[in-house]
Amino acid sequence: MVTYAAPLEDIRFLLNELLDYDGTVAGLPGYEEASADIVEAVLEEGAKFCENELLPLNRSGDEEGCIFENGVVRTPTGFKEAYKAFAEGGWTGLACDPAYGGQGLPKTLQFILEELICSTNLSFGMYPGLSHGAYNALVLHGSDEQKTTYLPKLTDGTWAGTMCLTEPHSGTDLGLIRTKAEPNGNGAYKITGTKIFISAGEHDLTENIVHLVLAKLPGAPPGSRGISLFIVPKFQVKADGGLGPRNGVACGSIEHKMGIKASSTCVLNFDEAEGTLVGEPHKGMRYMFTMMNVARLAVGIQGLGLAETAYQSAAAYAKERLQGRALTGPKNPDKPADPIIVHPDVRRNLLTMRAYNEGARALALWCGMAVDVAEKHPEPETRQEADDLVALLTPIIKAFFTDYGFEATNLGVQVYGGHGYIREHGMEQLVRDARIAQLYEGANGIQALDLVGRKMGQNMGRLLRRFFHPVQAFVDEQQGEPRMAEFVMPLFKVLGRLQQATLHLAQQGLKDPEEAGAAASDYLRLFALTALAFMWARMARVAVDGLEGERAAFYRSKLATARFFMTRLLPQSSGHFAAIMAGKAAIMELEEAAF
């Protein structure tokens, strides 16, 4: 069994000491009541639910998987009950609008809760996660009628949602989709086509499933400019809101996957299924992107969540597992062997996980709070600034968190040694579950292209300003603080490299998009390391002032981990920088036939 307790102390530290949650989010219109105290209280409840209800189902769900029979998907034992309790606990509507029965709590809270859910049962989290994605798309782009029909049910969790994008020949390139939508004369449409890889596409947790489907209208413009978004419920909805007859959508099969086996991944066949258009024709991609951006952040959090469990489990194991002696002589002379945590390399593995996790959590919360500011702040300029930051950080959080999440879960297995490879310990499941997050919601290579191809150049680099200026200002501000030198100098250096690489790529990319493409993944990683260095330097700034107080131990740990990050992880940035500056030549040289 894995070891997990929600990292509430770290979260409190971030909310109250690092990111001024109360001054940033709790002051926003609509969130006046959602003070840090309230948020923490809700989180404590959430932590209990995750630890007590979801974690115990994680291993069994993995073993049992979903079962597809006669067109119906059965989720693993216990999922139905857990989902019922989840919905009844109000967790499905946590950040939903009170107008639809939601609790109206900040997105920040939703963000944190998602980490806890992913740490304890990623497969389970997929179901409410997809529903919330559908909620987000409809709340922004749906008609009043669509909202009143669907949002209360999605909020209270009696219905679930999906996002139906991918088709057999159309994954990353959605411009290729073939699913058709024909007007049926009464204002609705008949949707016909096949969608694959549809998470939560069919299951037994809810009475209805609301599919959001991308399809093409007759005579639509070519490519992604001609895609429209439709709502296609599994059961048609009657005028009174009750369930009507079964719609023309059916699950054809479910996939047999490497991980997240308790999440049903479906082939959905639409056969003249009745749907209604969301928003205007041909704007589906745009609507879908608002949903996808939120979803991308959520997938990033999956990496963090799994890595946190891997770390906690590995740390506990390393303290218990007695094997061999410390290199400098026995530490535990009464016992036959020392715990393996005495070994530098084991510590290196553990600290790598820990430093990434805590840095990533800080970055995620900074971004999560910006999501709330972008939505609710009264000043349009402040909203824009926050929105820019979120847009910039989204590909970084999605790709970097899931990449390191996979690395960290692997390190977890490593600390367990051969036992990590044995299913019953649960460590290998984390690796398998983590792998998908690097692929879906836009593979990580696509995220890197999004960063260099779209986000970097957007408004001549305005998005970048939201990151670079605060970092620059922090560096300038801290330069006279001797206790901070060991954190600020590395940050200053990596910032300089990132600035140089950014300008280089912006210029090269204008001349030759392949230059930008060849550097994209290294650039994203360099950016992520810089962002984490910023977070670590800021956390260190709080910690250096706290060393004399009652929470000295906590701050000492922060500083030690900060030092580890700055000296042992951040130097990777040099390699990425060198790779970026090397250009595309060596990547493009080899002839296709030679591969």
Partner 1 sequence: MKIETAAVVGAGVMGAGIAAHLANAGVPVLLLDIVPEGTQDRNALAAGAVAKMLKTDPAPFMTRRAAKLVTPGNLEDDLDKLANVDWIVEVIIEDLALKHDLYKRIEAVRKKGSVVSSNTSTLPLAKLVEGQSARFAEDFLITHFFNPPRYMRLLEIIAGDKTRPEALDTLRDFADRRLGKGVVLCHDTPGFVANRIGSFWMQSAINEARDLGLTVEEADAVMGRPIGVPKTGVFGLLDLVGLDLIPKVDASLAANLTPDDAYQALRRPWPLFEKMIKDGYTGRKGKGGFYRLNTDGGQRVKEAIDLDSGAYAPAGKAALESLDASKSGGLKALVAHPDKGGRYAWNVLSQTLAYAASLVPEIVERVPDVDRALQFGYAWKYGPFELIDRLGAADFAERLEAEGREVPALLAKAAEAGGFYRVHEARRQYLGTDGTYTDVPREDGVLLLADVKLAGEPLARNGSASLWDIGDQVACLEFHTKLNTVDPDTVAMVEKTVRTVSGGDFKALVIYNEASHFSAGANLGLALFAANVGMWPMIEGMVEGGQKALRSLKHAPFPVVAAPSGLALGGGCEFLLNSDAVQAHAESYIGLVEAGVGLVPGWGGCTELLARLAADPRRPRGPMPPVATAFETIGMAKVAKSAFEGKEMGFLKETDDITFNRERLLADAKARALELAEDYQAPEPLELTLPGPSGKTALDFAVRDLLAKGVATPHDETVAGALAEVLSGGPAADMTEPVAEKDLLALERAAFMRLVKTAPTLARMEHTVETGKPLRN
CB of 55 to partner 1, least distance (A): 43
- Output 60 or 382, the one with its CB closest to partner 1: 382
Residue 225 within binding range of partner 1, rule CB under 8 A = yes
Cβ(478)–Cβ(544) under 8 Å? no
CB of 495 to partner 1, least distance (A): 8
CB of 447 to partner 1, least distance (A): 20
> Cα angle at 59 between 54 and 65, to 5 degrees?
100
CB of 224 to partner 1, least distance (A): 10
Candidate list 222, 329, 333, 549; residue touching partner 1; CB under 8 A: 222
Distances (CA, A) of 343 to 338, 367, 530: 9, 36, 29
User: What is the C-alpha separation between 224 and 214, in angstroms, rounded?
Assistant: 10
Residue 200: which of 150, 245, 251 has the closest Cα? 251
Residue 176 within binding range of partner 1, rule CB under 8 A = no
- Output 315 or 526, the one with its CB closest to partner 1: 526
Is 441 tagged catalytic?
yes
Tokens, residue 227: 């895609």
CB of 492 to partner 1, least distance (A): 11
CB of 467 to partner 1, least distance (A): 9
CB of 378 to partner 1, least distance (A): 18
Residue 471 within binding range of partner 1, rule CB under 8 A = yes
Residue 460 within binding range of partner 1, rule CB under 8 A = yes
Residue 331 within binding range of partner 1, rule CB under 8 A = no
Tokens, residue 362: 């800080």
Distances (CA, A) of 250 to 70, 125, 244, 568: 10, 23, 16, 52
Query: Of residues 473-502, which lie at the interface with partner 1 (CB under 8 A)?
Result: 495, 498-499, 502
Cβ(299)–Cβ(440) under 8 Å? yes
Residue 465 within binding range of partner 1, rule CB under 8 A = yes
Piece of 49-57, 167-175, 457-465, 528-536 that binds partner 1 (CB under 8 A): 457-465
**Is the dihedral angle over the CA atoms 537, 408, 199, 98 positive or is it negative?**
negative
User: What is the C-alpha separation between 14 and 112, in angstroms, rounded?
Assistant: 11
User: What is the C-alpha separation between 438 and 445, in angstroms, rounded?
Assistant: 9
Query: What is the enclosing helix (H) or strand (E) of 433?
Result: helix 427-437
Q: Are strands 189-199 and 208-216 parallel, antiparallel or unpaired?
A: unpaired
- Output 146 or 530, the one with its CB closest to partner 1: 530
Size of the site for partner 1 (CB under 8 A): 21
Residue 472 within binding range of partner 1, rule CB under 8 A = yes
Q: Are strands 67-69 and 72-74 parallel, antiparallel or unpaired?
A: antiparallel
Q: Are strands 208-216 and 159-164 parallel, antiparallel or unpaired?
A: parallel
Candidate list 89, 248, 281, 461; residue touching partner 1; CB under 8 A: 461
Piece of 354-362, 465-473, 482-490, 555-563 that binds partner 1 (CB under 8 A): 465-473
Residue 168 within binding range of partner 1, rule CB under 8 A = no
Tokens, residue 440: 């879906």
Residue 221 within binding range of partner 1, rule CB under 8 A = yes
Identify the three-state secondary structure at position 197. Answer: strand
Candidate list 262, 278, 370, 464; residue touching partner 1; CB under 8 A: 464
Applying CB under 8 A, the residues found at the interface with partner 1 are: 221-222, 225-226, 459-462, 464-465, 468-469, 471-472, 495, 498-499, 502-503, 506-507
Point out the residues that are catalytic.
441
